A and B are shown apart, each in its own frame.
Chain A
Amino acid sequence: METTIGDQSELQCPNCAGQCSYSPVHGGLECASCGDVHDLKTDDDHKAAAEFGFDPALSEDDLPDLNKTSAHHCNTCGGDVLFTGSALSERCPYCDGAMVLSTQDAGYHTTALIPFEMDALLAQHQAQRWVKRRIAKPNDLAGIVAKGRVAGLYAPFWTFDSKEAVEYWAKYTTGSGNNRRTRPTKGRMNISFDDLLMPASPHITPLIRDGILHDFNPSALRPYRAGYLAGFAAERHHQSVVTGLKANADDKRLLIRNRIKRHIDKSGVRDIRYRTDTSGIHYRRILLPVWILHYEYKGEPMKVVVSGIDGRTYGERPFSMAKIALYSGLLSAATIGIGLAWGAGGLL
């Protein structure tokens, strides 16, 4: 990602030498002075979706770029973020904490990114709409969130492909009452993971990924270049492939167990054990655009994240305990009412 320094000239308007930033609305670099829009498309854009092979048996030849760049370090969450062009901010896009300039950020080359397609105004609207639609939200929540402002960030992600030859052992139940039995089962199956999207940053949780990134389309990837980052923050990739695979092993285990359950297709499947032979690992180191809105509710920091691609929104939210108690009371009253009538009627 040292190109963010080397390609700064790209951010200068060829017409008036003004400062350009990437415009999600126009899909190109927009000059802040004359308003000209410059296209960033190239003939090689289709190559951005290329994947890289990885063999765990061989030593890793994918080494970090040791050219340390000027990143900003967050004293609150520890995140290191690059600002390209005019997007310099004193607040961390991940946690809204204060940031200091650091020169210690060495990371891996990013191969591709999907540019922002939603601007800040629309993202702000989406975040507020999401909050307003929460069931049992505190009454003052919408007002608090309305005061927050979204920050645009390119967050690091992996895509992993792999083929899994799985051999499994499990138990399932049959029958009911006195005829209920637990039976063992075993089997083999092949699973293919294609473009499994994994966060490469501790700041983006798998839950947020699953909330905002439903349909990852590799054809939307563009080659990494500074122009797309202009006006936004970006986090470098700091994980080796081995670290990335390890960090996302929990998710993969859960998905494999779920596939095994579906493969067995019986009720009460449990005690699943499996062995898998993984082959055909391919990966991409990419950046995906997100808008993050920070807010604090009763001292607890929370965030709403909006996909910069299609505006899907997900986040953290508080509950109003008074409303939860009300809903619980209503459900309890209805259930008790039915129960009392049932018992009083002498049914079963």
Chain B
Amino acid sequence: MPSDVSPFLATIVFFVGATFVGMAPVVKLIKVYEAHHELKRGSAGWIRTIAGWSMIAFWLMTTWFLATTLGDWAVSGDLSGAVDRSWLRLRILLEIAAALADSD
């Protein structure tokens, strides 16, 4: 049984990690935004800049998924149970990720 502060500490560490990992997707997000507004739609430069936009969605989805497990853990106090309950969410997320990767 973890102490009450374990989920909180894990969330802090997770936040720092998600922020660090998220820096590259945020740069990509800005580049995609600028490309949408400034590059000629359908041009070679536009296609190259837009390509890879799904990394932004993958980062947000991964962050959300792990946070849901942490939230469950914080309330139930049962980490392995929270992980078990997250499998269905993970499967749905993987389906969404596959669809996003297809359209990237």
Name the B residues within 8 Å of A341 (CB-CB).
71
Does residue A27 face the partner (Cβ distance < 8 Å to B)? Answer: no
Taking a contact as CB atoms under 8 Å apart, the answer to whether B49 and A207 are in contact is: yes
Taking a contact as CB atoms under 8 Å apart, the answer to whether A332 and B22 are in contact is: yes
Name the A residues within 8 Å of B42 (CB-CB).
258
Name the B residues within 8 Å of A314 (CB-CB).
38-39
Does residue A343 face the partner (Cβ distance < 8 Å to B)? Answer: yes
Does residue A50 face the partner (Cβ distance < 8 Å to B)? Answer: no
Does residue A122 face the partner (Cβ distance < 8 Å to B)? Answer: no
A329–B18 Cα distance when bound, in Å, is 8
Does residue A100 face the partner (Cβ distance < 8 Å to B)? Answer: no
Of B34, B47, B63, B75, the contact of A335 (CB 8 Å cutoff): B63
Which residues A118-163 have CB closer than 8 A to chain B?
Answer: 134-136
Does residue A324 face the partner (Cβ distance < 8 Å to B)? Answer: yes
**Chain B, Cβ-Cβ closest to A268:** B102
Does residue A17 face the partner (Cβ distance < 8 Å to B)? Answer: no
Name the B residues within 8 Å of A343 (CB-CB).
67-75, 82, 86
CB A306 to nearest CB in B, in angstroms, measures 12
Does residue B14 face the partner (Cβ distance < 8 Å to A)? Answer: yes
A183–B24 Cα distance when bound, in Å, is 34
Per-position 1/0 for A328-339, Cβ under 8 A of B:
110111011111
Taking a contact as CB atoms under 8 Å apart, the answer to whether A176 and B99 are in contact is: yes
A134–B20 Cα distance when bound, in Å, is 22
A327–B103 Cα distance when bound, in Å, is 26
**Secondary structure dominating the interface of B:** helix
Does residue A52 face the partner (Cβ distance < 8 Å to B)? Answer: no
Given contacts A135-B33, A340-B71, A343-B71, contact A333 B15 (CB under 8 A): yes
Given contacts A258-B47, A336-B18, contact A136 B30 (CB under 8 A): yes
Per-position 1/0 for A192-210, Cβ under 8 A of B:
0000000000000111111
Taking a contact as CB atoms under 8 Å apart, the answer to whether A211 and B44 are in contact is: no
Does residue B19 face the partner (Cβ distance < 8 Å to A)? Answer: yes
Taking a contact as CB atoms under 8 Å apart, the answer to whether B43 and A210 are in contact is: yes
Does residue B89 face the partner (Cβ distance < 8 Å to A)? Answer: yes
CB A172 to nearest CB in B, in angstroms, measures 8
CB B88 to nearest CB in A, in angstroms, measures 7
Given contacts A333-B15, A335-B63, contact A210 B45 (CB under 8 A): yes
Does residue A242 face the partner (Cβ distance < 8 Å to B)? Answer: no
CB A183 to nearest CB in B, in angstroms, measures 13
Taking a contact as CB atoms under 8 Å apart, the answer to whether B44 and A255 are in contact is: yes
Per-position 1/0 for B29-60, Cβ under 8 A of A:
01001100011101111111100000000001
Per-position 1/0 for A166-187, Cβ under 8 A of B:
0000000100110010000000
A343–B45 Cα distance when bound, in Å, is 41
Of B11, B43, B49, B60, the contact of A331 (CB 8 Å cutoff): B60
Name the B residues within 8 Å of A329 (CB-CB).
15, 19, 22
Taking a contact as CB atoms under 8 Å apart, the answer to whether B26 and A348 are in contact is: no
A206–B49 Cα distance when bound, in Å, is 11
Name the B residues within 8 Å of A176 (CB-CB).
95, 98-99
Besides A328-B18, A339-B71, 20 other A-B contacts (C-beta < 8 A): A136-B27, A206-B44, A207-B48, A209-B43, A210-B39, A210-B40, A211-B39, A312-B38, A319-B27, A324-B26, A328-B22, A328-B23, A331-B60, A332-B19, A332-B22, A339-B66, A339-B68, A343-B71, A343-B73, A344-B74
A–B Cβ pairs within 8 angstroms, 28 of them: A176-B99, A206-B45, A207-B48, A213-B40, A250-B44, A255-B44, A267-B102, A267-B103, A314-B38, A314-B39, A324-B26, A324-B27, A325-B20, A325-B23, A328-B19, A328-B20, A328-B22, A328-B25, A329-B19, A332-B18, A332-B19, A332-B22, A336-B63, A339-B65, A342-B64, A343-B68, A343-B82, A344-B74
Chain B residues engaging chain A, CB cutoff 8 angstroms: 11, 14-15, 18-20, 22-23, 25-27, 30, 33-34, 38-40, 42-49, 60, 63-75, 82, 86, 88-89, 92, 95, 98-99, 101-103
Chain A residues engaging chain B, CB cutoff 8 angstroms: 134-136, 173, 176-177, 180, 205-211, 213-214, 250-251, 254-255, 258, 267-268, 312, 314, 319, 321, 324-325, 327-329, 331-333, 335-346, 348
